[in-house]
Amino acid sequence: MNNKFTKILKKKNRSKIICLTAYSKNIAETIDPHTDIILVGDSLGSTIYNYSTTRKVTLDQMVEHSKSVRLGVKKSLMVVDMPYRTYRNKKIALKNARRIMKETKCDAVKIEGGSSIIKIAEHLVKNKVPLMGHLGILPQSIKGKFKFKGKKIKERNKIFNDAKLLQDKGAFSIVLECVETTLAKQITKSLKIPTIGIGSSVNCDGQVLVIDDLIGLNESKIKFVKKFGLIKNNISQAVKKFKKDVLNKKYPTKKYSY
């Protein structure tokens, strides 16, 4: 693994890891100075394409957006989600992971699940594909409303054991999505690799958010989403100024004309 992975692993128990999603070069370039990990998430399905589920996201879509993101990433570790059914067995998973790595020049891929995909995870790592895990709520598998994970003992034990399995098979970090606070803390303390939380409390080694949620471009009402900016207001104000200048024939002036 390269120096970017070493830096991430060294942050365990020392400094919080900053992770955000990006789906284009311009956003990646803007956030890269401030992030440790940039994730090209299959969340682009709902964020960009208005799909009702991430299951509709294709491998081609992930590759094209990732190629754009790569142009804007200089220092952060770049991770790409493998979309639904692109890792349904070891052979297909490796073929698709290699395509993603080759065409996007990303640093790692991410897959969802624990024991059910552990042989696939192991196969990818053995074939030198750096891997990030994902436990808790699994958007590619979810049916119905989002509910946090880890309320019942059986569920808690499964998530905890799955985290250990992913670590043992070579995952370099694990996203914990909407995992109950005390369980997230227990997993984070027990693992040698970092956990990246989303709706899983401050106890994780790092945090990730969808960039469109963070800047207030989405009208998200999910509990864990905090709007750190209201970019919609800025866009609206800029468009109003443009409209006014065009209507009043103040734009374009000679300065902006050939």
Domain ranges of the chain: 3-227, 230-258
Rounded to an integer, what distance in angstroms lies between the CA atom of residue 22 and that of residue 28?
6
Stretch (H or E) spanning 79: strand 77-81
Token code pair at residue 150: 């880890």
Indicate if 29 belongs to the active site. no
At residue 207, the 3 state secondary structure works out as strand
Percent of the chain topping pLDDT 90: 92
Percent of the chain topping pLDDT 70: 99
Amino acid identity, position 136: G
What integer best gives the mean pLDDT of the chain? 96
Residue 144 has pLDDT above 90, yes or no: no
Q: What is the mean pLDDT of residues 229-251?
A: 96
Answering whether pTM is above 0.75, one says yes
Query: How far is C-alpha 200 from the chain's CA centre?
Result: 15
Of 104, 88, 97, 106, nearest to 129 (Cα)?
A: 97
Q: How many CA atoms within 13 Å lie on the side-chain side of 36? A: 22
Token code pair at residue 27: 């956003």
Q: What is the mean pLDDT of residues 209-223?
A: 89
Confidence tier at 223 by pLDDT (50, 70, 90): confident
Residue 1's pLDDT is what?
Answer: 63
Q: Angle CA(175)–CA(216)–CA(218) in degrees, nearest 5? A: 75
Residue 195's pLDDT is what?
Answer: 98
- Segment 71-85, tens digit of pLDDT: 999 999 999 999 999
The residue behind tokens 């059914």 is: 85
Of 50, 20, 15, 16, nearest to 229 (Cα)?
A: 20
Q: Which residues of 125-146 are buried (b: 16+ CB within 10 A; e: fewer)?
A: beeebbbbbbbbbbbbeeeeee
Backbone angles phi, psi at 107, to 5 degrees: -95, -25
Residue 35 has pLDDT above 80, yes or no: yes
Q: Are 219 and 232 contacting, i.e. CB atoms less than 8 angstroms apart? A: no
The residue behind tokens 């900016």 is: 229
Rounded to an integer, what distance in angstroms lies between the CA atom of residue 109 and that of residue 193?
16
Amino acid identity, position 170: G
- Segment 112-139, tens digit of pLDDT: 999 999 999 999 999 999 999 999 999 9
Token code pair at residue 114: 């624990």
Residue 203: CB atoms within 10 Å: 18
Q: What is the mean pLDDT of residues 21-44?
A: 98
Residue 11 has pLDDT above 80, yes or no: yes
Residue 178's pLDDT is what?
Answer: 97
Residue 2 has pLDDT above 80, yes or no: no
Confidence tier at 38 by pLDDT (50, 70, 90): very high
Q: How far apart are the first and last CA of the chain?
A: 51
The catalytically annotated residue of 112, 122, 177, 180 is 177
Q: Which residues of 12-36 are buried (b: 16+ CB within 10 A; e: fewer)?
A: beeeebbbbbbbbbebbebbbeebb
CATH class of segment(s) 3-227: alpha beta
Q: Are 44 and 57 contacting, i.e. CB atoms less than 8 angstroms apart? A: yes
